[in-house]
Structure formats: structure tokens, C-alpha cells
């Protein structure tokens, strides 16, 4: 048995059935085998390790998956929904109504495609796992998905099965037959390819007027347009663009077939009430501008918490890109048009000198479930976000990095790039959960809570040269400079250095974290960093982030319990 288990973090699956117009507002349900296999092929081209898994390995895997159609376990609580958008046209006064249909269901309910008689081993199974963990969406791009491979029967019930062998399967008052597109089995595709190429040759011979028949070379040239949409292997046929075969007069892929599945149809009303989604959007009744925006981050593979500074930088770049850029005529450098709360610099490109409390935005990646991978991004600004700034944040929907960039410059992708960039290899989708105040989010974001006792979540690096007293003295200086600790409270401030932190089952040292910004020319005098435990004289409301790159996820602290006697014994590192 083999199964691909798809989960959808947003609880939505967007896909238009083959041969249907998007404004028919229909949803491809169940997800077609053709769509699933094409997702694997596309992922191999965009994100796979081609050295470890060459194209021949992909071709063999696709052949195995196409031999038999999968069965499905579909969510029981599902609703056929849609949204409407009026898209601007060339004429500014003209708009066009576009429907965006989708299936909505609880984000915790997976869609499972199961091949009950298929067993993969060795390299084939390794390749499938490699591709599955890199799938970012299934269907349209807004249909964010995560995929895992199962080789044992899971806790799901098959409720949608292909019926060509047994027309009576699943025949109840609640079910109906659904026609879906699927790839031909490899042997059937080889036969169909030979038949179509033979027909193309017959057409050439029927219209041939010269006394001698065409040579093999001439025949190959004359049937080349047909041969181009009939690659040797099935994987090549799946990789074709829709326009490739439509230009040859085909209205559907020649390597495809129709299958009849029987399942419960989508309906505007669920069979049972859908649970209300907790989006984290707090309702605010006062007039204070919100200080926090929290985003869900989805994609495979998710970035490790050790790469927090990379994701923090990407988030800032993507937000600034919403405002565009100017060019400095003297130097040719890009100058952001974004407000200072996002840029953190004045018009001359220098850090804000009148901002000792660091009121401009913090871009703080979060590992909410403690598995060591970033799953949320929190943006915080002490003075809050106005309507224009909130609108820009709301438009940030994805982040990406490029494979070709050097390690220190890998965080360069922003929303101003295009989907056609050939070197994009990792991409993550973002969904804004809501705006609010720190206290609105503290249950889900511990570092927005209030406490006297704080412990490092990411390494603390000195913002300048380390002086006498090392990292402890530097942290003390920054706490006073920020106004978190007053001069008369310094005697009650306690800071201790720690050797490591533990995330899940891993013990991490500062050297395990990425500790550098991607920009060139920025001085960084402390490359080692340290973990600290801070006990403040009075409770302080987070976020508490100090030191170098603290606006991008380094030097972040989370509330903790009061230091135990055992911990004092294990980590007897003096303050100075």
C-alpha cells in the first residue's frame, strides 16, 4: 500500500476541472490523478535534487504511479464555496467578474490518495518522499498544501473509488458519478503514441505528390509537430504545457484518459456543521493602532528555526516591495519608498538615530509547535501600524529564496519578482491571521507575553565590539539603553550565560544558527554569539529582542520559569 496524504493549512482546495471555465465555479473533486502526478513532476523540475534523483528515476516513479488509479479518502465536512472578484480591464471603467471556487473543509482533515496494490522501495520511495515534502500547493497556487508519504494503512476510510471495474461501487442515494482526468498507463500510452504517430505518417503519405516516398529524415521532419506532443516516456507527456498540444489542435492531453469515480458530491451546505476556524484575528474596540501582525507560514520544506534571520529579512524585503523602489542617481542604489517603520532607516539610508527604543518593526519568525521549524512570522512595531501599513502587510502572501545566490545572499527573493524566475527553488506561502495588540496574541505567541524571567530562543550577538564583561555586560548595556531597565534598577538585574538550548530532541549551540545578515558592507564584530538567561527587576511585556539583527529574529527571548536550584548547579556561569 502507498498513499499521499495532503493537508491544506488554510482549509481550502482550489482547482478547476479539466475542460471547465473558471467562471463555471466548479471544483475538481476529487483531485484528479493527472493533477497529482503533474504536481510531482513540476516539483522535480523546480525543487528536487537532480544529482541524487535523475530524470530516469522520476520517469520510473511516474510509470509506477500511473499503472492503476488511486482510491481517495475525502473529508466528510466539506463545502463548495466561492468568492467573487471584479478584475480591472484595459478600459479603466470596465471590470470583469471572476469566480474563485474552492472546497472548504477543516484544515486538520486530509485528502488521501491511496494506491492499495502499489509498493515502492529503495530509490523510488526515497524520491517520492523527497518530492512530497517539497510540494507547496495542489491545484491553483493559492491552494497551499503539505504532503507526506504513507506506506501503512492510516486512520482514514476510503470513500471515493474508481468504478470502471465495478459500476455498482458506492452506489447510494448520497453519491454520484464524477468524471476525472487521469494519465494512461505506460503500456497504453506507448500503444497510443505509436497509433497517433502512425496516423500522422499516413496523413503525410496521403498528401504526398512526389514520385519517390519521403525518406525517414524527411518523414521525421514532417511529423515533428505531432511527435513534439508525444514524448517517448509518460513523464514527458505530463510535463507538457497546455498550450503545447492545444497549438496542435488537441483539446486535451493525448496521454490522458477519463475515469469514473463515485463519491459524495460537493454541496453549498455541509453534511455536518463545520467547526469555526480560530484565525487568531482579535476583535478590537479601541482606537489604538494594532502593534502586531501574525502570519501563518506554509510550504515544504519549512525553514528551520536556525535560519530565523533569513526568514526575518525575507519578510521585511517582501513588505517593502509592496511600496516599490527609487534609484539613487549618484550611486545607482535602490532606495525603498516604504515608510520608516518598515525600513528602519532615514531618507539617507542611515539607521534611525532618534529611535533608541527601536520602535520600528521587528520581523520575528516563530516555531509555534516546538518542532524546530518556523511555522509563523510575527511583525511587531511599538508605535503600531496605520491603515496604509496594514494594507501592505495584508498583501504579503509569499516568500522565496534562490538556489543560485551565495549563502550570505540567499535571502533576496521578494514579491516584486516573477513566477517565471528559473532559479527559484524554495518558496513559502503566507496567510495573515490578524492584527492586534501583544496581549491579544500572547496565548499563541509566548514571546509577546509578560514576565520577569526570559531565556534565549535564538543567539544573542553584540551589536558592536565585545567589551569587558562579554555578552552579559553587552546585554545589560542594551537593556538600560532601551529603557527596559532604569539606572537605579541595574543592581537587581541578573543575567547569566548559557551553553546551549534544547529544541525538541536537539541540543543547539549558538554556532548552529545562521548569525549573519545578507547585506554587504555591514559591520559585524561578534560572530559567535551566546545564549542568555535574564531576570528583570520588574515584569516586562515582550517582545524582548536584543543585539545584532534583533529586528530579524536573532537575540530573541521567551518567558520562562524562575531559575531552579538544579539549573543553578548545572550552569554556574558567572555574570562577569
Q: Tens digit of pLDDT for each residue in 113-172?
A: 999 999 999 999 999 999 999 999 999 989 999 999 999 877 788 999 998 645 555 445
Bridge partners of 181, per DSSP, are 258
End of a domain among 224, 254, 284? 254
Lowest mean pLDDT among 20-29, 188-197, 527-536: 20-29
Whether 321 and 221 map to the same domain: the answer is no
Whether 308 and 362 map to the same domain: the answer is yes
3-state secondary structure 347-401: CCCCECCCCCCCCCCEEEEECCCCCCECCEEEEECCCCCCHHHHHHHHCCCEEEE
Share of the chain above pLDDT 70, in %: 85
Whether 395 and 479 map to the same domain: the answer is yes
Whether 135 and 57 map to the same domain: the answer is yes
Give mean pLDDT, residues 249-269. 86
Domain assignment of residue 211, given as a range: 186-254
Q: How confident is the model at residue 299 (pLDDT cuts 50, 70, 90)?
A: confident
**Spatial separation of the C-alpha atoms in residues 410 and 520, rounded to whole Å:** 12
Q: Does residue 278 lie in a domain region?
A: no
Whether 130 and 230 map to the same domain: the answer is no
List, in sequence order, every beta strand (DSSP E) within 154-245. Answer: 161-162, 176-183
Given this model, what pLDDT does residue 520 score?
56
Cα 184 to Cα 26, 100, 274, 399, 556: the distances in Å are 24, 30, 37, 36, 53
pLDDT digits (tens, 9 = 90+) for 60-80: 999 999 999 999 999 988 988
Whether 177 and 205 map to the same domain: the answer is no
CA-based angle 148:154:155, to the nearest 5? 120
CA-based angle 149:152:154, to the nearest 5? 85
Given this model, what pLDDT does residue 269 score?
59
End of a domain among 254, 283, 306? 254
End of a domain among 133, 151, 184? 184
Q: Does residue 143 lie in a domain region?
A: yes
At how many degrees (to 10) do helices 33-47 and 55-66 cross?
Answer: 170
Given this model, what pLDDT does residue 408 score?
39
Q: Does residue 320 lie in a domain region?
A: yes
Q: Does residue 568 lie in a domain region?
A: no
Q: Does residue 280 lie in a domain region?
A: no
Whether 159 and 191 map to the same domain: the answer is no
Whether 363 and 450 map to the same domain: the answer is yes
The number of domains in the chain is: 3
Cell numbers given for 15: 482547482
Q: Does residue 335 lie in a domain region?
A: yes
Q: Does residue 520 lie in a domain region?
A: yes
Q: Nearest to residue 106, comparing CAs of 82, 78, 80?
A: 78
Q: Does residue 273 lie in a domain region?
A: no
Whether 105 and 154 map to the same domain: the answer is yes
Q: How confident is the model at residue 356 (pLDDT cuts 50, 70, 90)?
A: low
Q: How confident is the model at residue 276 (pLDDT cuts 50, 70, 90)?
A: very low
pLDDT digits (tens, 9 = 90+) for 12-21: 999 999 888 8
Helix (H) or strand (E) holding 479: helix 470-482
Give mean pLDDT, residues 273-293. 61
Q: How confident is the model at residue 454 (pLDDT cuts 50, 70, 90)?
A: very high
* CATH number, domain with residue 107: 3.30.70.1900
As a whole number, the mean pLDDT across the chain is 85
Whether 321 and 440 map to the same domain: the answer is yes
Whether 13 and 107 map to the same domain: the answer is yes
Whether 243 and 327 map to the same domain: the answer is no
Amino acid at each position: 500500500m502507498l498513499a499521499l496524504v495532503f493537508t491544506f493549512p488554510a482549509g481550502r482546495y482550489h482547482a478547476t476541472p479539466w475542460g471547465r471555465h473558471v467562471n463555471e465555479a466548479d471544483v475538481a473533486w476529487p483531485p484528479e490523478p493527472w493533477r497529482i502526478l503533474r504536481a510531482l513532476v513540476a516539483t522535480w523540475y523546480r525543487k528536487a535534487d537532480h544529482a541524487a534523483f535523475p530524470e530516469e528515476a522520476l520517469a520510473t516513479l511516474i510509470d509506477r504511479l500511473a499503472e492503476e488509479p488511486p482510491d481517495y479518502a475525502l473529508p466528510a465536512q466539506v463545502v463548495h464555496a466561492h468568492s467573487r472578484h471584479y478584475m480591472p480591464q484595459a478600459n479603466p471603467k470596465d471590470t470583469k467578474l471572476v469566480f474563485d471556487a474552492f472546497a472548504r473543509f477543516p484544515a486538520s482533515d486530509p485528502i488521501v490518495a491511496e494506491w492499495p496494490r502499489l509498493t515502492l522501495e529503495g530509490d523510488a520511495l526515497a524520491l517520492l518522499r523527497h518530492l512530497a515534502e517539497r510540494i507547496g500547493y495542489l491545484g491553483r497556487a493559492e491552494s497551499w498544501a503539505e504532503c507526506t508519504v504513507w506506506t501503512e494503512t492510516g486512520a482514514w476510510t476510503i470513500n471515493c473509488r474508481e468504478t470502471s471495474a465495478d459500476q455498482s461501487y458506492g452506489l447510494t442515494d448520497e453519491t454520484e458519478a464524477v468524471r476525472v482526468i487521469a494519465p494512461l498507463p505506460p503500456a497504453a500510452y506507448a500503444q497510443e503514441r505509436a497509433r497517433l504517430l502512425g496516423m500522422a505518417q499516413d496523413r503525410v503519405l496521403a498528401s504526398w505528390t512526389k514520385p519517390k516516398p519521403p525518406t525517414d529524415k524527411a518523414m521525421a521532419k514532417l511529423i515533428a509537430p505531432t511527435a513534439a506532443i508525444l514524448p517517448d516516456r509518460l513523464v514527458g507527456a505530463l510535463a507538457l504545457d497546455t498550450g503545447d498540444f492545444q497549438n496542435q489542435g488537441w483539446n486535451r492531453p493525448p496521454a490522458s484518459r477519463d475515469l469514473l469515480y463515485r463519491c459524495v458530491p460537493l454541496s453549498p451546505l455541509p453534511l455536518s456543521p463545520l467547526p469555526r476556524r480560530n484565525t487568531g484575528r482579535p476583535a478590537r474596540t479601541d482606537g489604538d493602532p494594532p502593534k502586531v501582525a501574525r502570519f501563518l507560514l506554509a510550504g515544504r520544506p519549512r525553514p528551520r528555526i536556525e535560519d530565523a534571520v533569513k526568514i526575518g529579512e525575507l519578510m521585511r524585503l517582501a513588505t517593502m516591495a509592496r511600496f516599490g523602489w527609487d534609484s539613487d542617481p549618484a550611486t545607482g542604489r535602490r532606495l525603498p519608498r516604504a515608510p520608516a517603520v518598515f525600513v528602519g532607516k532615514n531618507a539617507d539610508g542611515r539607521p534611525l538615530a532618534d529611535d533608541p527604543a527601536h520602535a520600528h518593526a521587528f520581523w520575528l519568525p516563530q516555531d509555534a509547535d516546538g518542532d524546530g521549524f518556523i511555522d509563523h512570522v510575527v511583525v511587531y512595531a511599538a508605535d503600531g501600524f496605520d491603515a496604509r501599513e496594514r494594507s501592505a502587510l495584508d498583501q504579503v502572501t509569499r516568500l522565496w529564496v534562490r538556489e543560485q545566490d551565495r549563502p550570505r545572499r540567499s535571502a533576496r527573493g521578494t514579491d516584486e519578482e516573477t513566477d517565471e524566475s528559473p532559479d527559484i527553488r524554495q518558496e513559502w506561502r503566507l496567510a495573515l491571521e490578524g492584527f492586534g495588540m501583544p496581549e491579544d496574541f500572547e496565548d499563541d505567541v509566548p514571546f509577546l507575553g509578560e514576565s520577569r524571567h526570559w531565556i534565549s530562543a535564538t543567539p544573542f550577538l553584540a551589536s558592536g565590539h565585545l567589551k569587558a564583561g562579554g555578552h552579559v555586560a553587552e546585554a545589560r548595556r542594551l537593556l538600560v539603553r532601551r529603557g527596559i531597565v532604569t539606572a537605579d534598577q541595574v543592581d537587581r538585574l541578573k543575567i547569566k550565560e548559557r551553553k546551549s538550548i534544547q529544541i525538541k530532541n536537539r541540543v543547539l549551540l549558538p554556532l548552529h544558527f545562521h548569525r549573519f545578515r545578507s547585506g554587504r558592507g555591514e559591520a559585524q564584530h561578534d560572530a559567535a554569539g551566546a545564549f542568555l538567561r535574564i531576570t528583570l527587576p520588574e515584569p516586562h511585556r515582550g517582545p524582548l529582542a536584543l543585539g545584532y539583527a534583533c529586528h530579524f529574529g536573532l537575540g530573541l527571548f521567551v518567558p520562562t520559569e524562575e531559575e531552579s536550584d538544579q539549573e543553578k548547579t548545572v550552569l554556574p556561569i558567572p555574570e562577569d
